[in-house]
């Protein structure tokens, strides 16, 4: 009887996990292809699913963890149902042992992900936390199932004391996890005032307020974010530039926290004489080719996805690699090749380069944050402060 109850509870928990994982998989897909998309789970800077799901830790061996979770919960539900239906005691013991082993692994992996969220990303995913709770309770249920099936084979139906201890431990862990989520939600940084930023980091505050400004209103470029955003971040970049890759990582970390308020505009300035007359000697061999490839991806509506692939694989930007990235982005290969060999991408790059030369840009990356000129790759924290300062100014609070 105890085994039956534990198996039913395992099936129910696996179905709950399946629903949460399906929601995570949907959000992951939307964030990957939806420029400017913000999920309902982006509650504040501390409890923010978008920060976690857009990070490099959201995938394992190239596969989104949410997709792996879907398969895991389907397997758990099927195995627990098989325990209920199998007439063979040996088969039930094998399945119960496997379920317990998977549950132990799931909890260990959950602890790793929780550590990453709290101490590396500095943000907690509410839906992910729901899965952590499900995994903890699944551990208790599968342990009870494992014990009950083994004991039933000896003709007795008991729940040993060690199972009570495990259940108590799991319950305590759930309480702690719920407490952490509540604490993060209550202490999440909604917005610092300019005075608070000045007090917290006076060196940054002085540096930022002394940056040169320009009133240039650039058209074109590749845009993501809301049209009515309070902050416009215009970037001139080079896909083969190491500092640009650092800036890309900072933006990837910080934008999910503020993207309701930020519109990003990307422009090319490849340090490659093949398409940039401002460069006398090419610094980056494949910069022009990569920029052209990104324009061809943009022609098929996949610029930002391809943009991320280029920066994620910056050490491999030869023509064959660019074609492989086109395949990964789901581009039409024939149309991509035709575009790459045409003059259209060169014309788009030439317009960006002309704008950059008019603005006096000499290096990458160069940003214009509501007109303030930032040269180089600022750290993620500095970008966050800068966005908050500009947001406050636009609201009349600065």
Residue 281: domain span: 194-394
- Give me the phi and psi of 114, to 5 degrees please: -65, -40
Q: How many domains does the chain have?
A: 2
Which of 187, 207, 237 represents a domain boundary (last residue)?
A: 187
For residue 107, the SS3 value is: helix
Q: What is the mean pLDDT of residues 288-304?
A: 95
For residue 124, the SS3 value is: strand
Residues 158 and 239 in one domain: no
For residue range 18-69, what is the model confidence (pLDDT) as tens digits? 999 999 999 888 877 655 567 788 776 677 888 888 877 888 777 889 999 9
Assign 78 a pLDDT band (cuts: 50, 70, 90): very high
Assign 157 a pLDDT band (cuts: 50, 70, 90): very low
Assign 216 a pLDDT band (cuts: 50, 70, 90): low
Sign of the torsion formed by the C-alpha atoms of 63, 66, 67 and 72: positive
Predicted pLDDT of residue 160 = 53
Nearest by Cα to 313 from 363, 252, 239, 380: 239
Residues 201 and 218 in one domain: yes
Q: Which two tokens stand for residue 192?
A: 């610092």
Predicted pLDDT of residue 338 = 95
Question: What is the CATH number for 379?
Answer: 3.40.30.10
For residue range 100-146, what is the model confidence (pLDDT) as tens digits? 889 888 888 888 888 888 877 777 888 998 999 899 889 888 888 88
Assign 158 a pLDDT band (cuts: 50, 70, 90): very low
Question: What is the CATH number for 86?
Answer: 1.20.1440.130
Structure-model confidence comparison of residues 208 and 63, the more confident one: 208
Residues 176 and 225 in one domain: no
pLDDT mean across residues, the chain: 84
Which of the residue ranges 76-85, 139-148, 167-176 would you say has the lowest mean pLDDT? Answer: 167-176
Predicted pLDDT of residue 177 = 58
Residues 180 and 225 in one domain: no
Residues 319 and 280 in one domain: yes
> Scanning the structure block, which residue is given the tokens 């789970």?
41
Q: What is the mean pLDDT of residues 302-328?
A: 93
Assign 389 a pLDDT band (cuts: 50, 70, 90): very high
Which of 126, 152, 187 represents a domain boundary (last residue)?
A: 187
Q: What is the mean pLDDT of residues 166-178?
A: 62
Residues 168 and 217 in one domain: no
Residues 306 and 387 in one domain: yes
- Cα separations in angstroms, 34 against 39, 79, 121, 221, 356: 11, 36, 22, 17, 28
Residue 234 has pLDDT above 90, yes or no: yes
Which of the residue ranges 33-37, 232-236, 277-281 would you say has the lowest mean pLDDT? Answer: 33-37
DSSP class of 116: I
Residue 161 has pLDDT above 70, yes or no: no
Residues 319 and 358 in one domain: yes
Which of 150, 171, 187 represents a domain boundary (last residue)?
A: 187
């Amino acid at each position: 009887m105890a085994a039956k109850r534990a198996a039913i509870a395992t099936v129910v928990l696996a179905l709950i996990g399946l629903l949460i994982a399906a929601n995570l998989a949907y959000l992951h897909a939307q964030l990957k292809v939806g420029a400017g998309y913000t999920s309902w789970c982006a509650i504040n800077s501390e409890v923010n699913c978008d920060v976690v799901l857009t990070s490099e830790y959201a995938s394992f061996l190239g596969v989104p963890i949410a997709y792996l979770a879907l398969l895991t919960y389907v397997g758990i539900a099927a195995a627990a149902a098989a325990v209920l239906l199998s007439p063979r005691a040996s088969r039930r013991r094998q399945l119960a042992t496997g379920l317990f082993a998977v549950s132990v692994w799931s909890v260990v992996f959950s602890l790793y992900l929780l550590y990453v969220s709290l101490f590396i990303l500095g943000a907690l995913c509410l839906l992910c936390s729901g899965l952590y709770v499900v995994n903890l309770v699944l551990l208790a249920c599968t342990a009870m199932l494992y014990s009950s099936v083994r004991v039933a084979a000896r003709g007795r139906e008991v729940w040993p004391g060690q199972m009570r201890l495990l259940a108590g431990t799991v319950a305590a862990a759930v309480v702690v996890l719920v407490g952490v989520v509540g604490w993060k939600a209550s202490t999440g940084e909604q917005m610092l005032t300019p005075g608070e930023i000045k007090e917290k980091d006076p060196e940054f505050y002085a540096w930022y307020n002394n940056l040169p400004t320009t009133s240039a209103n650039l058209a074109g470029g590749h845009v993501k974010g809301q049209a009515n955003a309070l902050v416009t971040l215009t970037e001139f970049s080079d896909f083969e530039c190491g500092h640009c890759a650092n800036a890309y990582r900072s933006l990837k970390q910080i934008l999910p926290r503020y993207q309701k308020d930020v519109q990003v505009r990307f422009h090319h300035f490849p340090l490659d004489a093949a398409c940039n007359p401002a460069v006398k000697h090419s610094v980056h061999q494949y910069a022009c080719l990569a920029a052209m490839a990104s324009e061809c991806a943009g022609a098929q509506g996949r610029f930002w996805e391809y943009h991320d692939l280029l920066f994620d694989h910056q050490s491999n930007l030869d023509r064959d690699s660019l074609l492989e990235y086109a395949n990964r982005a789901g581009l039409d290969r024939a149309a991509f090749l035709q575009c790459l060999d045409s003059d259209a991408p060169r014309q788009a790059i030439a317009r960006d380069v002309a704008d950059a030369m008019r603005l006096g840009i000499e290096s990458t990356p160069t940003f214009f944050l509501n007109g303030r000129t930032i040269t180089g790759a600022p750290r993620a924290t500095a970008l966050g402060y800068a966005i908050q300062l500009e947001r406050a100014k636009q609201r009349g609070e600065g």
